[in-house]
């Protein structure tokens, strides 16, 4: 990978990197499409990163579908599939980590999953260095992750552009995710409550008549409807640092022209934890 990247630099070629953990789906392929459209070379990495999983999370059962992933990348005309082993990424004696110690990493997912963003930031920086990418493409579904990577890039002066790409959804509205395959058909139907809640939140925000607390309450009510649902959070935040917005503030579109108001959800349907979000304004 490093040798290829060095050659591309000599040829003044731009490189678009799509970091993934495999089990590729239409959302990942949309990122490859963006990379191909904007760069000379499209690289997709496939690596289930052990350092971003906590001790009671789903690292062991996370789907690994390397042969199918390669077929999908070939069909999408991705130029390079980079599939390193854990031993290559974390050789014996590895002891250097990237820590994003404040906003936007210290809340929500960062609070619920304490080692998660350390693992994300470390492996992403390694991938950036190996591919010498010009741009890196991330899906909006992992909104907080995108903001953490942006902060890391800014703080460490990494010469790369981070591109946030739209969420790809099933026709019924469910955000496409590798973890969707954990759910039964009944649970998949129940999981539509997330997109319904976000759609309703956007409708309410755009009227300019409701407070932050009222919109958040409506979201929480909708995602609590399934009998198997458990809500980790349903919150409205400012987009850059994920700072909470005062609950008593009336959400007025004219006040959000220079920044983003984002609704974030983390909900368990049965044993499957799902995240989703929408930019409301």
Residues with catalytic roles:
28
Give the residue-averaged pLDDT of 146-164: 98
For 68-89, give one letter per residue: b (16+ CB within 10 A) or e: ebbebbeebebbbbbbbeeeeb
Ramachandran area for residue 12 (φ above 0: left; ψ -120 to 50: alpha; else beta): left
| Cβ–Cβ < 8 Å for 34, 137 | yes
Look up residue 191 and give its DSSP letter: T
Interval 24-64: pLDDT, tens: 999 999 999 999 999 999 999 999 999 999 998 999 999 99
Average pLDDT rounded to a whole number, residues 147-162: 98
Measured distance CA(84)–CA(50) in Å, rounded: 13
Q: What's residue 136's pLDDT?
A: 98
Distance of alpha carbon 143 from alpha carbon 275, whole angstroms: 9
User: Are domains 2-165 and 184-279 of this chain identical in fold?
Assistant: no
Residue 234 is predicted with a pLDDT of 98
pTM: 0.97
Please provide the average confidence, as pLDDT, over all residues in the chain. 97
Beta bridge partners of 238: 261
% of the chain with per-residue pLDDT over 70: 100
For the chain, the domains span 2-165, 184-279
* Tens-digit pLDDT profile for residues 99-132: 999 999 999 999 999 999 999 999 999 999 999 9
Of the candidate CATH numbers 3.40.50.300, 2.60.120.10, 3.30.750.24, 3.30.1300.10, the domain formed by 184-279 belongs to 3.30.1300.10
pLDDT at 63: 95
Q: Which fold has domain 2-165?
A: Rossmann fold (3.40.50)
Under the banding of pLDDT at 50, 70 and 90, the label for residue 146 is: very high
78-99 pLDDT tens trace: 999 999 999 999 999 999 999 9
Considering the chain, what percentage of its residues have pLDDT values greater than 90?
99
Helix or strand or coil: residue 210? coil
Query: How high is the pLDDT of residue 26?
Result: 98
Helix, strand, coil share (%) of the chain residues, nearest 5: 40, 20, 40
């Amino acid at each position: 990978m490093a040798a290829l990247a060095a050659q591309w630099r000599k040829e003044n070629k731009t490189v678009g990197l799509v970091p993934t953990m495999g089990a590729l789906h239409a959302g990942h392929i949309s990122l490859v499409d963006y990379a191909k459209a904007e760069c000379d070379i499209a690289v997709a990495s496939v690596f289930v990163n052990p350092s971003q999983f906590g001790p009671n999370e789903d690292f062991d059962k996370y789907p690994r579908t390397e042969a199918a992933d390669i077929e999908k990348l070939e069909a999408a005309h991705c130029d390079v599939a980079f599939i390193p082993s854990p031993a290559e990424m974390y050789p014996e004696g590895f002891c250097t980590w990237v820590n994003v110690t404040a906003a936007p990493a210290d809340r929500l997912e960062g609070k619920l999953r304490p080692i998660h963003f350390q693992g994300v930031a470390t492996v992403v920086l390694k991938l950036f260095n190996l591919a010498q990418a010009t741009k890196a493409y991330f899906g909006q579904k992992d909104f907080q992750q995108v903001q953490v990577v942006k902060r890391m890039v800014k703080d460490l002066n990494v010469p790369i552009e981070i591109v946030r790409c739209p969420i790809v959804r099933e026709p019924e509205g469910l955000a496409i995710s590798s973890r969707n395959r954990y759910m039964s058909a009944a649970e998949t139907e129940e999981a539509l409550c997330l997109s319904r809640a976000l759609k309703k939140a956007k409708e309410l925000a755009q009227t300019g008549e409701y407070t932050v607390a009222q919109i958040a309450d409506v979201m929480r009510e909708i995602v609590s409807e399934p009998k198997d649902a458990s809500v980790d959070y349903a919150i409205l935040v400012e987009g850059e640092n994920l700072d909470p917005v005062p609950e008593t503030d009336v959400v007025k579109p004219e006040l959000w022209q220079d920044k983003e108001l984002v609704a974030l959800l983390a909900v368990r349907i049965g044993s499957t934890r799902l995240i989703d979000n929408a930019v409301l304004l």
